[in-house]
Structure 1
Amino acid sequence: MQIAPRSGGPVPDVATLLARLAADGGQPRLTWYGDDGERVELSGAVLANWASKTVNLLVEEFDAAPGTRIVVDLPVHWRTAVWTLAAWRAGVTVVLPGAEGAYPDVVVTDSPDRWSDDGADLVVVSLPALARRYDGELPSGAIDAASAVMTYGDAIGWVPEVDPDQEALVTAAGAVGHKGLVPEPGEGARVLVDGRGPVAEVLRGLLGVWAGGGSVVLTSPATAAELEQDEARLARLLSTEQAQLPQG
């Protein structure tokens, strides 16, 4: 399924990408298939709205700006896409677990026990779609993302100017700057993305699809494994979602 024609060239930054998504209206841009049959669909406008609220939280609560380092300790998930989009919009450096010398200012995680002794500010994310609060004991001073994000405005308020030469994404394999973060645009198709890939590769793949005006059907790792073993189910999903497998 073609969602939109390929754009005229590279998208320079996440700010431009989010502006396009916000103006997109009701077209589906991210459909999530999680464990236990969970399905979440976000239009471009809704995806940008979630990111905008999260930008406001990061800036107002943590003074997020170029130079701030945020560890995003989350699996492949639609909420991971929202948090990284927001961090990049604020000019932040997103560090993934396993990167050498992380030294985070803020940690965004669904597993707070892993970071209880780290000393960084902590944001705890609940992954289930209907979660209104974290289902567990929050460490002292931690922010419950499920309830906190909803209190922030739908439009981005003041946000620092992004420094294109700052690191945007740091992994064990290296770093990518804000200037080169968004890959070459895709072909404007609706694409099924396997959630078993490395988080960094999946996230940058999403950016490339959206930059080309396309749409993503993203699966959790467990769902991707089930689809690989069930060709009939995979065919039904592709037909229902009017999606295609990645090219190449």
Structure 2
Amino acid sequence: MTAAMPLPGLLARLTADPGRPRLTWYGDDGERVELSGHVLDNWVTKTANLLVEEYQAGPLTRVLLDLPVHWRAVVWAMATWRVGACVVLPPAGRPDLVVTHEPARHVGEGTDVVAVALPALARHLEGELPAGVVDATSAVMTYGDVLTWMPEPSPSAPAVKVGEQLVAHAALEHWARSVLERHGECPPGGRLLVAVPADALEDGLGLALAVLLLGGSVVLCGPGIDAVARQRIARAELVVGQVVVAG
């Protein structure tokens, strides 16, 4: 099951080396967030529990990530894959659930909406939420640190929609590695700086997943960070290389 459904095995490896940095975020505003293997697994586990307990997410559930390139987007994608559901990106027709930092854009669509505040220290989304929208910024922390009941996995179920193509969970690792090969490389266990445009979440998710599956660590930079700042970050974070996707 681990080979066909890569997320359970990946999370197990993260917790086997719990203190090692696995996902580091540099925001355009100077914010730096570092998630160790333990912390990343904890975020993914809590979010997966929310998806299952509140929205019965599982195979064939389409979760629209209407988010910019961000560490929280990586967490929500990994949680979606952990429950066996499918990540879709805008525009995506009518998904089963929308995860967004701008919930007002999805009012009246007839779909469940989850709001996510992006700042690391935020405890709720600023402003008044539209009726029926759940603020996951605070809600996700109330869910268990251990996975509760998870749906029966289906390796043939879609894991991500790439353009008009659906990539199955059994092919998720191959897809992620192909994204990495298209833009650069990372040695097994390496620490890689990744920078992609704000609207290139597909590339950002694929690169992050590929590096993590290689046993590595990701330094994810916001799209507004320029080349000079990236060089400074690369030196400070001791990365083995950079993958910068042009806008």
1:245 CA drift (Å) = 2.3
1:70 CA drift (Å) = 1.1
Structure-2 change in CA distance of 1:94 and 1:235 (3 Å): closer
* RMSD, aligned α-carbons: 1.8
Deviations 1:77-126 (A, max 9, x none): 00000001001100111111024xx3211100011111001111110000
Structure-2 change in CA distance of 1:28 and 1:11 (3 Å): farther
For 1:6, the equivalent position in structure 2 comes to none
1:52 aligned onto 2:33:
no
Whole-Å separation in 1 of the counterparts to 2:243 and 2:75: 25
For 1:4, the equivalent position in structure 2 comes to none
For 1:168, the equivalent position in structure 2 comes to 159
TM-score, length-normalised on structure 1?
0.88
TM-score, length-normalised on structure 2?
0.88
Structure 2 residues without counterparts, runs of 5 or longer? 178-185
1:157 aligned onto 2:129:
no
1:75 is aligned, of 68, 73, 77, to: 68
Question: Which amino acid is the alignment partner of residue 21 of structure 1?
Answer: L
Q: Is the 8 A contact 2:98 2:114 kept in 1?
A: yes
Deviations 1:131-165 (A, max 9, x none): 00110111111110111001001111110122111
Look up the SS of the partner of 1:107 in the other structure.
strand
For 1:238, the equivalent position in structure 2 comes to 234
Structure-2 change in CA distance of 1:153 and 1:24 (3 Å): same
Whole-Å separation in 2 of the counterparts to 1:11 and 1:42: 26
For 2:214, the equivalent position in structure 1 comes to 212
Report the count of equivalent residues.
231
1:128 CA drift (Å) = 0.6
Structure-2 change in CA distance of 1:247 and 1:116 (3 Å): closer
Q: Is the 8 A contact 2:193 2:220 kept in 1?
A: yes
1:111 aligned onto 2:102:
yes
Question: Which amino acid is the alignment partner of residue 94 of structure 2?
Answer: Y
Whole-Å separation in 2 of the counterparts to 1:37 and 1:247: 20
Structure-2 change in CA distance of 1:247 and 1:219 (3 Å): closer
Equivalence map 1:106-145=2 (5 Å): 106-145=97-136
For 2:78, the equivalent position in structure 1 comes to 85
For 1:96, the equivalent position in structure 2 comes to 89
2:139 is aligned, of 148, 167, 192, to: 148
Q: Is the 8 A contact 1:186 1:208 kept in 2?
A: no
Identity %: 50
Whole-Å separation in 2 of the counterparts to 1:35 and 1:247: 17
Whole-Å separation in 2 of the counterparts to 1:36 and 1:241: 18
1:173 CA drift (Å) = 4.8
Q: Is the 8 A contact 1:186 1:211 kept in 2?
A: no
Structure-2 change in CA distance of 1:44 and 1:11 (3 Å): farther
